[in-house]
Amino acid sequence: MELRARLQHATKEAMKAKDATRLSTLRLIGAAVKDREIAARSEVGEEQALTDADLVAIMSKMVKQRQESAKAYEEGGRLELAEKELDEIKIIQEYLPRQLDETEIETAIDKAIADLGATSLRDLGRVMGELRTRHAGQMDFGAVGPMVKQRLM
């Protein structure tokens, strides 16, 4: 089942189960998808369906935003709001591809460097672009960047 259909089905199930947290999070995802579709329509002038990769990118961005918010709430002593953000992260991550562990990330970096023949820091952008293409939604590219940079030095 494609990702969009899974999200719609999950929204209906959350309504039936009266799971308010899950329902509100799924509706937030739906709203973000709708916003992206509207933005794409205004740029191109015609309606284009978003791919699963686009949906993964949207949800990855949502996870990152919530991680930053949770950290800010914890620093501000607002633990109940931080907990709400963390709950939303868990729900969103159910629909994202499995995150790679440390060993898998290192293997992916080495493979991308070898495939591209990267030898210096000038190749950093190409390697990161290749990793984004191959592993969208499967790794935190903010953390991966320094790892790639270290290998290219």
Residue 53 sits in a domain of what CATH number?
A: 1.10.1510.10
- Which DSSP letter does residue 135 get? S
The answer on 76 and 32 residing in a single domain is yes
Q: What is the pLDDT of residues 74-126, one digit of tens each?
A: 999 999 999 999 999 999 999 988 888 889 999 999 899 999 888 888 988 89
The answer on 106 and 136 residing in a single domain is yes
Determine the pLDDT at residue 90.
93
* Domain span at 117: 102-152
DSSP 14-74: HHHHT-HHHHHHHHHHHHHHHHHHHHHHHHHSS--PPPHHHHHHHHHHHHHHHHHHHHHHH
The answer on 130 and 84 residing in a single domain is no
The answer on 54 and 34 residing in a single domain is yes
Indicate the number of domains in the chain. Answer: 2
The answer on 89 and 106 residing in a single domain is no
Q: What is the pLDDT of residues 12-43, one digit of tens each?
A: 999 999 999 999 999 999 999 999 888 888 77
